[in-house]
Amino acid sequence: MATTATINENVRNYWTAMAMATAVMPVVAEEVALEEEEDLLAETLAERWGEMGDSYWEAKAAEWDNHKFGLCDDCEHGLDDESDFVVHARMNGESVLLCNECSAAGK
């Protein structure tokens, strides 16, 4: 026959094991989800950048060079005068040039 102390110890061990199991499972699930998300992002970027090829980027560079301040980061409108654009800070800390229309639209 089990004593009260033995039963209490078994209950304590059970709940400790349950707490540890549930604490570890979300972390493992989050790591797997993060890895899958990173893989998907890498595939998407590879598709997006890889399919364009060098000729696309050479044409963009030539178009960029045709304008004094380059192109709007969102709509690729040519920026020829300082009054044509606003320096905008992105959420990631990057500063970009946006034309007045894109800046007013809050892009």
CA angle 60, 68, 100 (to 5 degrees): 85
Q: What is the 3-state secondary structure (H, E, C) of 41-76?
A: HHHHHHHHHHCCHHHHHHHHHHHHHCCCCCECCCCC
Domain locations in the chain as residue ranges: 1-51, 53-105
Contact present, 82 and 99 (Cβ < 8 Å)? no
pTM assigned to the model: 0.45
User: How distant is the alpha carbon of residue 65 from its chain centre?
Assistant: 29
Model pLDDT for residues 10-49, shown as the tens digit of each residue = 767 777 777 766 655 555 556 666 677 776 666 665 665 6
